[in-house]
């Protein structure tokens, strides 16, 4: 899965990716400020999660546009401490909603480890765009709640794709896999192949014999059939 982490300057996007990837990430930065991207890979129950962090300075919009392309899910990070970042949060939220319409999103109300952090209901009042979105009180520094947030987002992504994924699981290894996919999903060949390519890139499956057949990875198969397994226990 490709997950983009965005939000205003200094909200804690890089720190979040650092935590989620256990420090196995790169950050293109200058004096602590991301100027190009953060990137790292995480593994959640066998699911490969490719994390992309964006720069929080307004002028790097082009970079954010490129990094957002094709993302399956969004972690929107806000600063729970600094009310001055609220106006920028709104701008950034509009931007990502424009780049990725309809893509599942969770909000990380970050820096909750600090005593002056604002509680969620107060943030909801200051940031009206949060209405209707799941908001998690988290700390990218201590890692508190980050795993639950990520799992919930992945679950939402899997649910978004559930009609396709259940067919992936059903026809995995079938010699006429592609044909059956087209028929059951009622899509043209091009679109069905598009789905296979998209999720081959995300390492959910392997496409074989031209494009006719595909094999879902053993580790992810149960998740495709039953996404709720991803939810925090
Ligand atoms: N106490 C606390 N500090 C945090 C937390 N997350 C980030 N920080 C601090 O906040 C500052 C900014 O964190 P970054 O992760 O660089 O923020 P960013 O959103 O990537 O910033 P830009 O890339 O410049 O937009 C750093 O000094 C972090 O140590 C948190 O959960 N708690
Ligand atoms: Mg950063």
Ligand 1 contacts CB of residue 114 (under 6 A): yes
- Rounded to whole angstroms, the Cα distance separating 98 from 101 reads 6
Which of the listed residues 159, 176, 209 is the one where a domain comes to its end? 159
- Rounded to whole angstroms, the Cα distance separating 105 from 74 reads 5
Residue 225, domain CATH: 1.10.10
pTM of the model: 0.96
Q: What is the pLDDT of residue 210?
A: 82
Considering the domain architecture, whether residues 197 and 105 belong to the same structural domain is answered as no
190 lies in which domain range? Answer: 162-230
Q: Which of 51, 67, 131 is nearest to 100 (CA)?
A: 67
Considering the domain architecture, whether residues 155 and 166 belong to the same structural domain is answered as no
Specify which residues 3 forms β-bridges with: 51, 73
Considering the domain architecture, whether residues 46 and 62 belong to the same structural domain is answered as yes
Ligand number with the minimum distance to the CA of 18: 1
Distance 187 CA to ligand 2 centre (A): 40
Q: Which of 227, 213, 217, 223 is nearest to 181 (CA)?
A: 213
Q: What is the mean pLDDT of residues 135-143?
A: 98
Q: Report yes or no: 78 and 8 within 8 Å, Cβ to Cβ.
A: yes
Specify which residues 27 forms β-bridges with: 38
72-109: pLDDT as tens digits = 999 999 999 999 999 999 999 999 999 999 999 999 99
């Amino acid at each position: 899965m490709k997950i983009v982490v965005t939000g205003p300057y200094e909200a804690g996007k890089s720190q979040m990716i650092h935590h989620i990837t256990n420090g196995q990430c790169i950050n293109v930065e200058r004096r602590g400020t991301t100027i190009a991207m953060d990137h790292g890979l995480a593994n959640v129950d066998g699911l490969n999660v490719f994390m992309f962090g964006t720069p929080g300075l307004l002028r790097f919009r082009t970079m954010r546009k490129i990094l957002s392309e094709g993302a399956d899910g969004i972690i929107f990070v806000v600063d729970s401490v600094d009310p001055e970042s609220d106006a920028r949060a709104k701008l950034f939220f509009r931007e990502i909603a424009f780049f990725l319409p309809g893509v599942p999103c969770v909000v990380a109300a970050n820096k909750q480890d600090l005593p002056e952090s604002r509680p969620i209901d107060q943030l909801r009042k200051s940031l009206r765009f949060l209405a209707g979105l799941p908001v998690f009180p988290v700390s990218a520094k201590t890692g508190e709640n980050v795993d639950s947030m990520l799992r919930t987002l992945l679950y939402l992504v899997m649910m978004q794709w559930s009609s396709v994924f259940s067919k992936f699981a059903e026809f995995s290894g079938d010699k006429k896999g592609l044909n059956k996919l087209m028929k059951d999903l009622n899509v043209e060949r091009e679109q069905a192949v598009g789905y296979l390519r998209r999720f081959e890139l995300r390492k959910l499956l392997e496409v074989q014999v031209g494009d006719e057949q595909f094999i879902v990875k053993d580790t992810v198969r149960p998740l495709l059939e039953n996404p709720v397994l991803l939810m925090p226990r």
